[in-house]
Structures are given as structure tokens and as C-alpha cells.
Amino acid sequence: MSASGRLALLLSVILALAGAALSASLTSAHLSGGGGLLALDCSNAESGCGQVMASRWAVFPPADPADVVDGPAQTGVPVAALGLLYFAALAVWLGFVGVCRGARAAWNGVVLQCLGVGCVVSVLYAVLMLTQLDALCPLCLGSHLANLAMFGCFFVAVRSLKTGEHGATTEPANHPAPRLALAVLTLGPCLGALLWVALDAQASEAALQSQGALLANLDAKAELVELAYFSDTRFSGSESGQQRFDASLRPENPEIAATDGASMTLVVYSDAECPSCGRFETMLTDEILPLFGGHLRVVYKHFPLTIHLAAEPAARALEAARLQESFWEYKALLDEQRGQLDDVDHGALAATLGLDVERFTADWTSPAAALRVAEDVRDGQNLGVDGTPTVFLNRRLVDPLTRGLLGFWSRRAQVLRDARASQNQTW
């Protein structure tokens, strides 16, 4: 092999190692939401890396759009991890075997074919990144460029072999030995897999530590949060810190009624397409309502956000279902398809509940339904609502951090329990 061939082979190894490092950084960022091994801010949703990582193309096979509404998809295999396996295997082969010689020179063609397929995949993902996502991830682009350059360098290295009349190389030895080839073919993928497992374990441990610290901090402050937001003696008005809000509750507002006697009222401004709303409403149904034993009145208010294009039509559909006394049943069906509301056939959904579809469609498309939704939005805006979910307990705003603390709701339920006991009302 000529000097230029040896240099080209060395560059191929370096590029394979660089591609493996970039892929490892992307894999780490995908698994943990952190910045990766190179400390680039790939976790920032506003960055190009963040947009690419949060897309359906970041995993293979491509994820369903519903699985990527709240961060990187949790289904499929990260494309960066596949890249890590690919580059690690090539780095081991090129570093320990290099260019095959003698009777085994034909193996170079197999390696070039693998590199060619890798280049096609790189070009495909680069085109998707620029056309479908309109975003540019420096780490992704770097790994794709390293792949293309690696193909070129290895091609130059192979071409530098001296060949005889019939195309067989005239290098003195048959290289590699079968045992070496087998060992390398086993070592490369295993090394990549071990790196992937190590990154996954590191990301899981970091995530658990972060979540544990956050939960411990929130739990330690739960009592202070409760006092600061809901103490009747200290915060009776806006001048003392926590303002009381007079939400306009209308007869048309769907509600879960409370039993007779002392109770509390929870007003929820929600968006049918909002993932955070879905999580809070699940917590409300499964954990909060049981704490209150039927003594919590829940009032639902529409607040479709403009960024959720299917939310306003869904809110009108809920109003149409309410007119046939099926609001909560229809809402349960919508909740099952929260991430795919664009594809919902509201008429067909109404039919599954046995509703009068003709009447439903007329009500759904009527100005009255749009006005009813707009009234709730206006009420919310007057209260300063600008996102969802927004909840008010007994006319007081519940802070977003507070509403996720089950301990907070347990304490409020105990306050109500004590109040009912003082009035000789059973729980």
C-alpha cells in the first residue's frame, strides 16, 4: 500500500472514531435529555439539536406523532444509538484490519458497500432534517459528514493497493487472518452495544437523581406552599399576597357535583389537546377526587390554546355532546385520542355513544357552540389565564408546582374533613 493509502486509512479510522463520539453524545442527550458528552445544549427545545431530537425521525422506526408531543419519543430505537453501533464496528474493523489484501481483497468491496449504504442513510436523514424539520443539529450534521468523508478515505486506501493483470492484489500476504476477522466482527458490535448500555444506565441514574432531588425539595416545601396560597387568616385578599378570583360559573358549565354540606369547588380551565391537562385530569380522577370523598365540586371550563389547532373544534364537540347530556362520556373518548385529535371524526365518535348524530353535527357547527367556548375563554382571560391547565380551588389560583403535589390535596381534604366534623356533618 502506498503512503497516500496508509494516510487515507488512518483518516478513515479517525473519522470512524469521531462519528462514534458524536453518536455517543447524541445518544446520551436523547436518553437523558442532557447536553451529551460534548456539552452542547442539545436538550434545549429551541435549539436545532432539541428540535431534531424531539421529532419522530429521531428513532427507528419513525415514531407516531402522538408519542413525541412532550419530548423525545420513548418508542423505537434512537437513531443515534444505531449510529453508535455502526461507527464503533467500523472503527474496530478499520483500526485492527484496515485494507484487506491478497486473496481476501474482495472483502474490501463488502466494507465499501456497507459504507455506501451508510452514506445513503446519512444523505436521507440530512435531507429530512433540512426539509421536514427545518432545523439543523450540528452533532447530527457532523456525524453525517464524517460518514461521507470516511467512505472517500477508505475508497482511496483500497485503490492504492497494487493490482496484477487479473485484478488480484500483488501485496505479499493474505490479510486478515480468519481468526482476526472473526474476532473483529464480534468485537465491533459488542463494543458499540456496551457503550449504548453504559450511556443508558448513566442517563437513567442521572434522571432518577434529578427527579428524586426535585420531589424531595417540593415535598419539603409543600407545607409552606399551602400556607402561602391558602391560609384564610393570612391571605384574605390581594393586598396580602394571594388574590381571590371570582370565576364566572355558568349553568352551562359541566361539573361533577359535590354532596350536601361543606364542600370545596375546583374550577379547571382545560384544553382537549393539551398533554399536561391530560396528566392533571388523570391525577384528579384517580387520586384527588377519592381524597375528598364526594365533597369536591369540579367545574370544567374550556380554554383551547391557539397552538393546538384541533382543540377548539374539540371544545365545540364537547358542547354539542353536553346538549345531549353526554359531556363526560364524550370527553372520556376524546381523552383516549388526545395526541391525535386532528384525525378524530367527531360525528363517528358521537355515534359510538348513541347520540343523535344529525343534531350533534348541527350543534357542533353552530355559532352558539363557538360562542359558548368563547365565553369560557373570555372568562379565563379576565382571570389572567394564559395556559392550561389552570385550576382554582375555592376561588384561589393553585400554583402549577402545587397542583402536582398529592400531599397538598390531602391537606386540603383534611381541612374540609375537620370543617365538616365541626358542623356535625358526616364524611
Higher pLDDT, 170 or 21: 21
The pLDDT, as a whole number, for residue 317 is 96
**pLDDT at residue 115 in the model:** 93
Domain 231-422 has CATH 3.40.50.300: no
- 127-143 confidence digits (pLDDT tens): 888 888 767 788 888 99
- For 194, residues 6+ apart whose C-beta sits below 8 A from its C-beta are none
Domain range summary for the chain, segments of one domain joined by + = 3-204, 231-422
pLDDT in the model for residue 311: 94
pLDDT range class, residue 185, cuts 50, 70, 90: confident
Question: Which one, of 371, 364, 347, 341, lies nearest residue 274 by Cα?
Answer: 341
What was the pLDDT predicted at 249?
Answer: 84
pLDDT in tens, 231-276: 544 333 333 345 667 667 888 899 998 888 889 999 999 999 999 9
Q: What is the pTM of this model?
A: 0.49
Mean pLDDT computed over every residue of the chain: 82
Q: What residues pair up with 245 in beta bridges, in sequence order?
A: none
Q: Each residue of 333-371: pLDDT tens digit?
A: 999 988 888 889 999 999 999 999 999 999 999 999 999
| CATH code of the domain occupying 3-204 | 1.20.1440.130
Distance CA 346, CA 329 (A): 13
- Model confidence band, residue 41 (pLDDT cutoffs 50, 70, 90): very low
Decide if pLDDT at 327 tops 50: yes
Out of 95-104, 119-128, 232-241, least confident range:
232-241
Q: In percent, how much of the chain has pLDDT > 70?
A: 78
- Report the alpha-carbon distance of residue 76 to residue 90 in Å, rounded: 23
In this predicted structure, the answer to whether residue 34 has a pLDDT above a threshold of 70 is no
